Amino acid sequence: MNINNINTPLVGKIRVPGDKSISHRSVMLGAISEGETIIENFLMGEDCLDTIKCFRNLGVNISIDKEVVTVQGVGLKGFKNPNKTLYAGNSGTTIRLMTGILAGQNFKTIISGDESLSKRPMDRITNPLSIMGADINCKDDLYPPIEIKPVSRLKGIKYLQPKASAQVKSAILFAGLYTDEDIHIIQPEISRDHTERMMKYFGANINITGKEVLMKGKRNSLKGKKIFVPGDISSAAFYIVAASIIKDSHIVIKDVGINPTRTGIIDIMNMMGGNINILNKRVMNEEEVGDIEVKYSQLKGITIDGEIIPRIIDEIPIIALASSYAKGETVIRGAEELKVKESNRIDAVSVELNKLGASIKATDDGMIIKGERTLIGNEVDSRGDHRIAMMLAVAGLKAKGTTNIKRFDSVNVSNPNFIQLFNSLKDI
Ligand code: S3P
């Protein structure tokens, strides 16, 4: 894909596709509930479509009409044995959360993924799920495929999470629906809480107190619901940074999820001197939604570490690009998790952006980014990682000349219309 320098400001209103994390969870909870779940503004990206395929293979009736997905729930144990390997594609959320659900079934399942997912660690979920009594095996005790065998019963758990991870927390909570014993998770830092909120919305008994999540008492059966999936703030992040670094830009991104566990990108950009405001705040199915207004502004470098890291974990690549245009240096620490995402994002960001003229030093747990760089178009590689592809495309809009991005089609994972959306900007 060739991206040319854009010499006009970005001005207008735009809408980003539905939230990836919420889309996955809505299908999962819909499938294990009683009755029908209707999901509006579902993300039609490859990851979420892979989740739908897995549940269809488990015998769940799911229909898709434009961006409305209807799931006929089968209850906690109403699945059919798929008698074949389930395929999670590129999606860590699919494989990790589904393993929690599959641990409670009375048939054996194997779930696998693509080349990238097959290199991502699964011991983070198999460890706590084994403590709960699940019988799970992975390749080399670490990687997919994951084999999940039936057990007579699952137990409760009190789990001190070694690292903040919503995928791990969610896998435990899903498995926890298959026992009446207490599930108590203590997080080192708060990660996204969509599972807790959505389980509550579907009728589960879950309490969140600070960093602790508690599911107590007898499990009620979950009841199908209507869900509106807000726009994905992780997709919005690319347009937020584009408008912040392209002179005279002024955009409003409509109907975006602004759950506080996800809004680190707004906090970081404003700490860097950005001009971002949230308008029209409201709550829909237990999730906050708002319109994000962004105006161009000169940014300055900052130090980023500590508890904000889980709130920006998917946005660090695009923050690194913003930092390359900021005055002064930006230091990112405590983000070693980036090495086990869809690609090694510390390596991908530093190597690929440096090819365009950025000055980013990779460190063991983050990066050090020199600001006020002038980027110049070159050939770069997304490494098959959707967030690296989109970050490089925004870099290409600001860089001089033309930027050629290899393996750009990875954007289909979370935002198939990434480029077209720039052309859809309408009057403010
Ligand atoms: C996600 C959690 C995060 C995030 C991923 C989606 C989720 O992963 O990076 O893109 O939907 O729960 P970790 O749980 O590994 O931090």
User: What is the average pLDDT value for the chain, to the nearest integer?
Assistant: 97
- pLDDT of 421 strictly over 90: yes
User: pLDDT class for 176, splitting at 50, 70, 90?
Assistant: very high
User: pLDDT class for 161, splitting at 50, 70, 90?
Assistant: very high
Span from the CA of 304 to the centroid of ligand 1 (angstroms): 19
Q: Give the ligand 1 atom nearest the CA of 314.
A: 9
What mean pLDDT do residues 188-216 have? 97
Tens digits of per-residue pLDDT, 69-78?
Answer: 999 999 999 9
Binding site membership of 93 for ligand 1 (Cβ less than 6 Å): yes
The residue contributing the CA closest to ligand 1 atom 4 is: 314
Strand partners for 223:
34
- pLDDT of 42 strictly over 90: yes
Span from the CA of 399 to the centroid of ligand 1 (angstroms): 30
Tens digits of per-residue pLDDT, 87-123?
Answer: 999 999 999 999 999 999 999 999 999 999 999 999 9
Cα–Cα distance measured from residue 349 to residue 285, given in angstroms and rounded to the nearest whole number? 35
Binding site membership of 313 for ligand 1 (Cβ less than 6 Å): yes
Class in CATH terms, 2-17+231-425: alpha beta
Q: What is the dihedral of CA 403, 341, 202, 232, to 10 degrees?
A: -20
- pLDDT of 50 strictly over 70: yes
Q: Is 314 a catalytic residue?
A: yes
- Establish whether domains 2-17+231-425 and 20-217 are of one fold: yes
Angle at 343 between CA 342 and CA 349, to 5 degrees: 125
Span from the CA of 102 to the centroid of ligand 1 (angstroms): 19
Span from the CA of 343 to the centroid of ligand 1 (angstroms): 14
Question: Which carries the bigger pLDDT value, residue 111 or residue 7?
Answer: 111
Pocket test for ligand 1, best of 28, 167, 265 (most atoms within 8 A of CB): 167
Tens digits of per-residue pLDDT, 284-312?
Answer: 999 999 999 999 999 999 999 999 999 99
pTM exceeds cut of 0.75: yes
What mean pLDDT do residues 323-348 have? 98
What mean pLDDT do residues 136-148 have? 97
What mean pLDDT do residues 396-416 have? 97
Span from the CA of 20 to the centroid of ligand 1 (angstroms): 10
The residue contributing the CA closest to ligand 1 atom 16 is: 165
What mean pLDDT do residues 39-45 have? 98
Q: What is the pLDDT of residue 428?
A: 67
Strand partners for 379:
404
Number of H helices, E strands in the chain: 12, 23
Q: Give the ligand 1 atom nearest the CA of 25.
A: 11
- pLDDT of 406 strictly over 80: yes
For 248, counting Cβ atoms within 10 Å of its Cβ (0-12 exposed, 13-18 middle, 19+ buried), the class is: exposed
Tens digits of per-residue pLDDT, 339-358?
Answer: 999 999 999 999 999 999 99
- Which is nearest to 148 in space by CA: 102, 198, 200, 206? 102
Task: Give the helix/strand (H/E) hosting 305.
Answer: none
Binding site membership of 314 for ligand 1 (Cβ less than 6 Å): yes
What mean pLDDT do residues 38-57 have? 98
The residue contributing the CA closest to ligand 1 atom 13 is: 165
Q: Give residue limits of the domains in the chain.
A: 2-17+231-425, 20-217
Q: Which CATH number fits domain 20-217: 3.65.10.10, 3.40.50.10440, 3.20.20.140, 3.90.550.10?
A: 3.65.10.10
User: pLDDT class for 7, splitting at 50, 70, 90?
Assistant: confident
